[in-house]
Structure formats: structure tokens, C-alpha cells
Amino acid sequence: MTAAAVDAVWKAESARIVAGLTRMVRDVGLAEELAQDALVAALEQWPTQGVPDNPGAWLMTAAKRRAVDHLRRGERQERKHAEIARTLEQEPSETVGLDDDVLRLMFISSHPVLPAEERAALTLRLLGGLTSEEIARAFLVPEQTVALRVAKAKRTLAEEQIPFELPPGPELATRLASVLEVIYLIFNEGYSATAGDDLTRPALAMEALRLGRLLAGLAPDEAEVHGLVALMEIQQSRSAARTGPSGEPVQLHEQDRALWDQELINRGFASMLRARQAGGPLGPYVLQAAIAVSHAQAASAQETNWVQIAALYAALARLMPSPVVQLNRAVAVGMAEGPAAGLALVDELTRDPALKDYHPLSVVHGDLLARLGREEEARTQLERAASLTRNAAERAFLLRRAATLTAVLVAEGAGRALGEAVEGFLSRADLGAGTLRSYGQTLRRLRLDLGPRTPLAAVDAARVAGVFALAWGTAAPKTWNRHRAAVRSFSAWAGLPDLSADLDRRAESRERRPAVDGPGLSALWRHPSLRERTLWRLVHESGAGARTVLSLDVEDLDLEARRARAGRTWITWGDGAAELLPELLAGRPRGPVFLADRRPAPARMPKPADLCPVTGRGRLSYERSEYLFKRASGGFTLHQLAYH
């Protein structure tokens, strides 16, 4: 019973305690350790002494006393002693300044200097009071990964000397946007899980709601804060209606609105009213909340005011012209003006490289095509979406929807379908391993984008050119020509007209490019991604080719000797890679050293040797790592990352 009381008090008060301690010791990591010490003291003393009348104040006082002991032992005793003494003289129930401290802690834990996944983990740890185990369970990652993210975030904040203070006026709006982004990221992962077997993770969504309401109480004059709270409350109100008896997704227009939580809807309306009372120009969260309000006000799906929603999305697109917002606008336009109007907008988005593997685009595309009676094309898009999503429940739902559409029939005399032909070509015994890997990347992209059931006779040079423009339009000449050669070989094997006829060969420069050096290297070593930093350090310090480094497995490494077996040779590295490798490999005894960002889709499952037994993720590809390096270095290639 006492343990439950301690846990409840900790969840409610931990943010205030850590925030108050951070103001005293100016170190987030140390503040959390001191707060945890106070928690341990409560677990030891409360069972015998009873739960105090003001348990939050008890924990705060106990933690502050530990802070005093720590600072007395440190070199800052004289400078801090007077300030701490004044703090301890306050009554235990006094909370003057604590709300400001919590607000400062929010801005620190969501600081833009941290990558998004570290901001989310640190925010849940410091402000949500969640343990590493709870956060790991929510995001479906190993507990050690969360612990490393939190530790790295604290270290970065200390190294960058981020001050424990609210940002100055001009910077406040930008920094507030980062805080809101983290809270909404947490909510979205709970509201619509990106991976795993379940469609939703309600505990995570409710934690984001709690953080949003806490922020609204601390910043009552910020319209965007209330807008985000309204948006989350109204979206969460639909949770009971979003899944069927077997956990399958139920689309918005098919939901039983009697299951919507009217209390949450009313709270959302009240939060929206507070946002309007705060005044100021309409921000992105207020506009999104207004869209949610429009849905909630409709008594049925048929009565939804799609014209109003489309107008709100148009305003949001002007404010945030992102491809995802444009996709949502296309859905609204398709409902307000008909599927043809929505499809015209989607067709433009299919040419955007940023959305080439974004499965909701294929879902919307398939929906609009189905409404226009183009069932074969709709099925192709829904199958494509199923192959791209990492959520098992959503994948099964999309495949069932695809199966209900009219089966795609290969026209008489048209021969095989594209998917069958591609697999036949790639099963040839005369293809070497390197050629097979190269051809496979090209042809499987064609199969994904054009649809595996598309009749081979319906594939022409113009459609292939469209895929190339989207997938490899900005690729280096050598990469472009390699993919073009694969298409020419496939055309000849399949007895088709040259499918590369609309693809001009690009001139390849033979000039030796300069190596990355000096300030460019310094910037790369500060990159926020541990995986990228380690890869680049290893390539730079070993002098080995990037493909060789990417082929390494954990079992190949001798960390103490700073060397690894690569085939029949050994590669060695220096201090930089030696410091980073243990953190990258934590908890992984075997499998690829460098892993892809996500688990592979069933349609593109790599070989067992290229899968990590701990995370289920595949080996990072050379093409993906080259792209990431070019983006980070301003156009340099991994070959230019020479050892000096």
C-alpha cells in the first residue's frame, strides 16, 4: 500500500523536484540522482513512519538536503551555501518558483540540440517520472537503448552548457515549438503506433496528455499550448472506437460515434476556447485542433463539414507547407470536391522524394483510386502500403482491404506480372553476388512503385523514367548509370523493348575529389546520430572502404586491440572510434555492427546473416549510408572521407 502511494506521489511530483534541484545544482543528471535518493529514503521510511501529510514537500526537502550535502563536499560550497540556506528556510508547502522551474526543465529536456528520440526519452524520464523500462516498453526498444539515450542527452546538455533558464523573448517561440513537438511526438506514438503488434499504446498517449496539460498550466497565455492540448484531447476521445473486436483498425467514417468519450471532447472544446482567448495569430496546433473540433461537432460521418476542413488544411498548408500536411489536405479536398480533385493533389505528391516510402501516401492513393472505380490500381497501392508499414495490425488490415478489391488479372497474352518477372530474373545462376545485390535494389524498387501484379506488357519506358526521377533523380552519375544498366539487362532478358529508352546516360567525372578535412571533419564528429558518427570515424581512422566497414559483424571486432577481421585482412582504428563503438554495440553480442533505422518489411526481408538477433533490424546499406553522409557533409562522398 505504501509503495503504491510512493509511486503515485513520484509520478505527480518528480518533475517539480527534479526541476527545483536542477536550479540549485545546475546539472540535470545530478538533479535526477538526488531526487532518486530521496525516493529511496521515502520507500525506506514511510512504511514505518507513515505517509506524511504533504508527501511532495517531504520528498522535495529530503532531496534538497542531499543537494546541500553534495555541494558542501564540492568546490562550490562558498558560492552556493547562502543561496541554498535561503531555499531551505522556505516552508515545505511553499511552491513559489517551482512552476517556473518545471517550465525551465521542459525547455531543457526538449532542447533542439538533442535528437528527437533523446528529447522524447529525457522528457518522459524527467517530466513524466517514467523508468527506462517503462519508456522502452512504450517505444518497443531495448531498455538499455533508452538508458543510453537518456545518459547521452544529459551528457550533451552538460557539454553544451545549456543554461537552466527560460530562453530570451525572441527565442522563446522557436524553443516552445520544440517542446510542443516532443509532446506531440510522444502522443502520436501512443495514438498510432509506428511498429509492433498493437495499433495503439494508450498509456503513452495519456502521458503526453498529462504533459500537455502540465505545460498549459505553466504557460496559460500561450495559444499554441492550449491548441495542442485540445488536439490531443479530441483525438484521444475516439480511442475506444478506433479498433474493432480483434484489434483491427476502424476508419474515422466507419467509427461508432457513441463510443467517443464525450468528457474528453468537452475538455477539448474548453482547451480550444482558452486558445482563442489567449489571442495571437493562428498557429499550426490551433489550426489542427480546429480541424479536430469540426470532426467532433458532426453528429455523423455524413454530416462532416468537409468544405470547412479543406479550408482549414489550406490555411495549415500555407503556414506549414510540408508534404504530410499537403497529403491530409488532399484527403479533405477529395471528400469536399470529389475523389478526382483529391487524386490530382496526390499525383503531385507521388513525385516528392520525401514521401517515396511514406506508407500513408499509398493508403490515400489507394482510397481515392478505389472511389473512382480504378480497383486494380487501388489494390496495388494498398499492397504497397502494407509492405512499407512496420505495424503488424495495420499491415494485416491493409492486406484485407486489398483482397476485397477486384483481383488484378494479367490480360490474355500479356505474359507474366512484373513481380514474377523480377524474381525470375534475379534467380539466374549466372549473376554474381555483387551484381545480384545491385540489380535487386533497382528492380525491387520498380516492383514496389509500379506494383508486383502489374502486367509486364503494361510497363513501358515512361513509367520506368517516372520511378527513376523519384527514387534516384538526385543520385550521382555513377549511381544513376548503375540503375540504368540494370533496367537494360532486365529488358533484354524479358524480351521487352528497352525500358531505359527515356533515361539518358549521365557523364561521370574522373577527377579525384578532395578529401574531407579540417572544419568539415569537426562538424561531422558532432553529428547527433551515434551510428553515423561511429561509421564515419571507423572509415576515416581505418582507411578501409565504406562497404568493408558496413560488412562488419559484432563478432569480427576486437575492441581491446582496436581491430576487426574483414575477410582475410584486419583493419584498425584510433581513439575516436574506440570511444564510440562500445556505446553503439551495447547489449548486442552478435549481428551487423551498423543497423538500418527500422525493422525490414516482410516483402524485403534480408538474409538471416544481415539481421540483428537483438533488435530485428537489418544491416545498414551502403546506399543509405552514402545518402546520409552526403546530406551531413554538404555533398562529399564516403570515398572522400580519407585517413590523414
Place of cell 490531443: 232
Model pLDDT, residue 520: 67
Question: What is the mean predicted confidence (pLDDT) over 178-190?
Answer: 82
* Mean pLDDT of all residues in 452-468: 87
Among 176-180, 267-271, 499-503, the least confident range: 176-180
Handedness of CA 354, 357, 362, 363 (dihedral sign): negative
Query: Tell me, what's the pLDDT at 169?
Result: 65
Least confident segment among 10-24, 359-373, 431-445, 475-489:
10-24
Name the 3-class secondary structure at 611. Answer: strand
Whole-angstrom Cα distance, residue 333 to residue 343? 9
DSSP element (H, E) containing 419 = helix 418-426
- Give mean pLDDT, residues 489-513: 83
Digit-coded pLDDT (tens) for 142-170: 788 888 888 888 888 888 888 777 777 66
pLDDT at res. 70: 64
Instruction: Point out the least confidently predicted range of 33-37, 119-123, 442-446, 617-621.
Output: 33-37
Integer Cα distance of 205 and 207 in angstroms: 5
Instruction: Give the whole-angstrom CA distance, residue 636 versus residue 538.
Output: 17
Buried b or exposed e, range 74-95, using 16+ CB within 10 angstroms: eeeeeebeeebeebeeeebeee
pLDDT over 70 (residue 80): no
Residue 130: which of 105, 147, 116, 142 has the closest Cα? 147
pLDDT at 607 over 70: yes
DSSP code per residue over 507-572: PPP-SPPPPP-THHHHHHHT-S-HHHHHHHHHHHHH---HHHHHT-BGGGEETTTTEEEETTEEEE
Burial 352-361 (b: 16+ CB within 10 A, else e): eeebbbbbbb
Looking at the predicted structure, is the pLDDT value of residue 91 above 60?
A: no
Alpha helices, H only, 237-283: 262-278
372-398 pLDDT, tens digit each: 878 888 888 998 888 888 778 888 888
**pLDDT reading at 405 higher than 60:** yes
Which is nearest to 203 in space by CA: 155, 134, 264? 134
Q: C-alpha grid cell for residue 306?
A: 468537409
Cβ 213 vs Cβ 232: under 8 Å: no
DSSP 381-404: HHHHHHHH-EEHHHHHHHHHHHHH
- Work out the average pLDDT over 514-536: 81
pLDDT bin (cut points 50, 70, 90) of residue 88 is very low
Nearest CA to 282 among 258, 257, 318? 318
pLDDT band at 292 (very low <50, low <70, confident <90, very high): very high
| Res. 342 pLDDT band, cuts 50 70 90 | very high
Lowest mean pLDDT among 8-17, 52-61, 138-147: 8-17
pLDDT of res. 413: 38
Helix, coil or strand: residue 290: helix
C-beta neighbour count of 592 within 10 angstroms: 22
Distance CA 546, CA 150 (A): 30
Confidence band, pLDDT 50/70/90 cuts, at residue 61: confident
Contacts of 619 (CB under 8 A, 6+ apart): 550, 551, 592, 594, 595, 596, 606, 610, 611
- The dihedral sign for the CA sequence 607, 608, 611, 616: positive
Please state, in angstroms and rounded to a whole number, the distance separating the CA atoms of residues 175 and 170. 10
- How confident is the model at residue 94, as a pLDDT? 42
The CA-based angle 23-29-30, given to 5 degrees, is 65
Beta strands in 132-191 (DSSP E): none
Q: Using only the alpha carbons of the chain, give its radius of gyration.
A: 28
Instruction: Quick: pLDDT tens for 570-593.
Output: 899 988 999 999 989 887 888 999
Q: Please report the pLDDT score of residue 43 as a whole number.
A: 67
Distance, in Å, from the CA atom of 449 to the CA atom of 368, rounded to the nearest integer, reads 17
* Burial track 210-229 (b if 16+ CB lie within 10 A, e otherwise): bbbbbbbebbeebbbbbbbb
Positive or negative: CA dihedral 623, 321, 446, 460 = negative
| Residue 450 scores a pLDDT above 90 | no
3-state SS class at 619: strand
From 403-417, 425-439, 567-581, 618-632, the region with the lowest mean pLDDT: 403-417
Phi, psi at 391, each rounded to 5°: -95, 120
> 498493437: which residue's cell?
198
Number of Cα atoms under 13 Å in the Cβ half of residue 261: 14
pTM: 0.57
Burial 11-36 (b: 16+ CB within 10 A, else e): eebbbbbbbbbbbbbbbbbbbbbbbb
CA dist., res. 437 & res. 619, Å (int):
13
- What's the helix, strand, coil split of the chain in %, to 5? 65, 5, 30
Taking all residues of the chain, what is their mean pLDDT, rounded to a whole number? 80
Q: What is the mean pLDDT of residues 259-286?
A: 91
The pLDDT assigned to 81 comes to: 45
Secondary structure (3-state) at 338: coil
Residue 82 has pLDDT above 50, yes or no: no
Higher pLDDT, 456 or 247: 456
Alpha-carbon torsion 155, 159, 164, 170, what sign? negative
- For residue 390, what are the β-bridge partners? 195
Span of 109-123, 153-167, 189-203, 359-373 with lowest mean pLDDT = 189-203
Decide if 350 contacts 361 (C-beta within 8 A). yes
For cell 490474355, the residue is 412
